[in-house]
Amino acid sequence: MSITKQGQEFIIKDTHRGLWYEDGKLTKVLEAGRYEIPPQRRWFQRLPTVECVVVDIRERDLTIKGQEILTADKVAIRVSILVQYRVIDAKAAIQNVENYEERLYSDVQLAARRSLASMNLEDILTNRNRLSEDILAEVKESAAGYGVAIRRADVKDLIFPGNLQEIMNRVLAAERNSQAQLVEAKTKAEVDEIQAKTRAEAKRRDAEAEAVVRRLQVEVEA
């Protein structure tokens, strides 16, 4: 928000900071308090043209939705990311980049692409936190350069190709069913039998998933 009207009084809250410009030059950063834009002339003396830009320094959320990214093994995954951030240096946020929110969006988007491009499907399935950690580590430093502190960057959703998603759903359902059967088993023989069936089913599902991934790779390469 920019305030330029001569004689206008305004209040800056604790949740904001103000950048005071005189003839386009930043002269001070305003803390919370009451201020007034002075007139441009006093008697026969011309005074500087004053503008105050107010910057919100509260913690905010930025959601990056539905980015389709290829993994290292050429599987297309759609990912949504939630970033929590706040401006800690109002001067850098306004002076160093044209729009710090748009810049943060781009930085997170590119960091996610670089991280996923270095991971294969198995990495993503077994270590989902790695993507969040990679994004946070990469963006934290660059955002500090334009006055923004990143508190956290979390992957909200991962959406896989249709056939692969169906397989994963069956895997989860089978795992839940196996766990329920183990709880109900009364003898070691029953436990051994259930575990053997679970291992066989896991091998079958893994083979099915690998087949889908290979088919997707062939389609991508084609």
**Distance separating alpha carbons of residues 85 and 23, to the nearest angstrom:** 32
Q: Residue 155 has what pLDDT?
A: 85
- Give every CB contact of residue 83 below 8 A, 6+ residues apart in sequence: 61, 62, 63, 64, 104, 108, 135, 139, 150, 152, 153
Tokens 């946020």, located at residue: 93
Q: Does the structure show a pLDDT above 60 at 216? A: yes
Q: Percent of the chain scored above 70 by pLDDT?
A: 77
Q: Residue ranges of the alpha helices (H) in 33-156?
A: 90-95, 100-117, 121-126, 129-144
Q: Residue 117 has what pLDDT?
A: 85
Q: Which of 14-28, 172-186, 205-219 has the lowest mean pLDDT?
A: 172-186
Global pTM value: 0.67
- 197's tokens: 């069936």
Q: Does the structure show a pLDDT above 70 at 181? A: no
Q: Which helix (H) or strand (E) holds 175?
A: helix 162-184
Q: Residue 75 has what pLDDT?
A: 79
Q: Residue 131 has what pLDDT?
A: 84
Which of the four pLDDT bands, split at 50, 70 and 90, describes residue 102? very high
- 43's tokens: 């008697």
Which tens digit of pLDDT belongs to each residue from 109-164?
999 888 888 888 777 777 778 888 888 999 999 999 999 999 998 888 877 766 56
Which of the four pLDDT bands, split at 50, 70 and 90, describes residue 32? very high
- Helix 100-117 to helix 129-144 angle, to the nearest 10 degrees? 140
Q: Residue 170 has what pLDDT?
A: 60
**Distance separating alpha carbons of residues 192 and 185, to the nearest angstrom:** 10
Q: Cα Rg for the chain, rounded, in angstroms?
A: 27
Mean pLDDT score of the chain? 81
Q: Residue 205 has what pLDDT?
A: 73
Q: What is the mean pLDDT of the segment spanning 169-181?
A: 63
